[in-house]
Every structure is written in structure tokens, then in C-alpha cells.
Amino acid sequence: MTGYSKLLLTASLALLVSGMVSTVNAQQKCDTCMEGQMCQNCKNGQGQCQNGDCHHSRHLIPYWMIPDVFKDEDQIAGVKRWSKEDYYLRGQLPIGQRQKCYKGKIWPVAPRPTGPKPHMIHRFHAAHYWPYPYNIWAQNNVRNMIEVHQQKGWQDATTLYNYHFSADTNELTDAGVLHLKWILQNAPSQYRTLYLQTSEKAGANDLRMAEVAQIASRLTAGQQTPEVVFRNTTPYGRPAQEVDAIRRNALANQPQPRIQSGGGGGQGYGGGGGGS
């Protein structure tokens, strides 16, 4: 390549870079021009502002064709581009298309990250190891949700409700003792907390806590007993005695006619006849 050709090539590159910078400055100045003002910033940038829209009639290169390296939104303030610090900071940024405001419109419309773009090596890294780490985040979200459900389920299973206590003496019934024994023997150690449903009766909560602590100490044979905590809640179901009473009452008050169970047999529809 001759010296003249090198000089011509250098001048062309310098003119191209100068045109890019000029277009970027004009667009950024126009973006600061608000509708209804004199658009002085846009005019100074060699643009023509009309109703908040800037048309760069004197620039041959469209703004969207200019590389992001020339645009301020792709710069990190106080950091030299392509330096170690720049690579480190951009490596922490999310991967994906950036959302921008161009000519009064958001591109793209769907929510996207904003600010500087990651370097090409970062995009290659994300494509090479895709879907990591996003699949790990999704798996952790599902695991956390399942863990919350497990905690709530064990909290309900280790709760002694009002129907586990006698209404008169606030002592545990036989069903309550069996349920307490099941908690101490079967519940995992991390979920082995004894919850007591709070009572509205004065003094009932203290009596029930003392009753549960005493029986739990006896069932654990002097070992460390689980913590007893009050819980302001209501049972999801009904005690078996109440369900049995409702069922018996429904059977006793069936309207007429009633279908009797068992008894002698009559002529059935499917009865067999004599053979031919």
C-alpha cells in the first residue's frame, strides 16, 4: 500500500469517526430537548427539532447504525473502556438486549436491562454455559417455595388444638396425649416444636402450657423437651367426636321414605326364569 493510500485511508477513518461522534452528540442533545421549548440544544447539534422529534438532516450515518462504543449510555463513568476494572464491572451486568429511549419511544417495549452492555466475551460465556446460572435461580425459587410449604405443614401437624384439651380442666385428653406422643417420636428434630392454639378463656393458656410441658417431660424420660409456643390459629378440620355426632344426627333425621338396609330378598329385576 502506497503512502498516499495509507493517508487516504487514515483520513477516511478519521472522517467516519468524526461523523459518528457528531451524530451521537446531536442525538443526545436532541433527547434533552423538551416539547414546547425553543430546541436550542437540538439546533446546536445540527439537528432540526419538531414536536420533540429530532431529524439529523446533515448527518449521513443514522444513529442506530453507530456502534455503542461512541454512545454515553454504553460508558461506565470514571472507568476506562476495556480496562480490567471495566471487564470486571461489565461481567457483573445481566446478559441481554438493553432497553433504550429513542425518538420518544422505548425500544424494546418489554422490560429489559438498561445501562452499559457486557463485552463480547461475556456474551459468549453466557451462551456457552446457558442456561446456567438462571436455571439454578429458578430451582432455588422452587426449593424455597417447597420448604415454606413444608414448614407450614409441619407447624400444623405439631399443633395441639383446643379439642385436644378438656374444656373444664384444660388437661390433655387421651387423643391429645397420643398426638403429643406422635410429635415427640415421629416429627423431625428441626420441626419438633410444640404449638398450642391460644384460648380465649382466662388462665387457660398457662394451665395448658404447664400440662403439655409436664407430659412432654415424662414422655421424653428426662431428656431435653421441645419448645412450647403459642399459636393464634384455628383448626382446618373438625374433631372426630363432632364429625360422629353430625353423622349420627343426619342418619336419625332422614326424611321418609327410608331405604332399609339388609333384610329379605324380593323378586329382582334380573331374576332368572325357567329354562327352555
Compute the distance between CA of residue 164 and CA of residue 56 in angstroms, rounded to an integer. Answer: 81
Q: Is the pTM of this model over 0.95?
A: no
Cell 453466557 belongs to 126
Bond into 113 cis (ω within 30): no
For residues 21, 23, 28 and 30, what is the CA-based torsion angle, rounded to 10 degrees? 150
CA neighbor of 61 nearest in space, from 98, 103, 24, 111? 24
Compute the distance between CA of residue 26 and CA of residue 49 in angstroms, rounded to an integer. Answer: 11
Region of 46 on the Ramachandran plot (φ > 0 left; ψ -120 to 50 alpha; else beta): left
Could you count the other beta carbons within 10 Å of the beta carbon of residue 49?
21
Residue 35: predicted pLDDT: 44
Give the ranges where 32-100 is alpha helix by DSSP (H): 40-44, 84-91
- Per-residue pLDDT 10s for the chain (276 aa) are 677 788 888 888 887 877 777 777 766 666 655 443 445 444 444 445 544 445 445 566 777 677 777 777 788 989 998 899 999 999 999 988 898 877 778 889 999 999 899 999 999 999 999 999 989 999 999 999 999 999 999 999 999 999 899 989 999 999 999 999 999 999 999 999 999 999 999 899 999 999 999 999 999 987 888 999 999 998 887 777 888 999 999 988 888 877 776 655 555 555 454 444
CA distance readout (Å), 52 to 36, 47, 111: 8, 11, 24
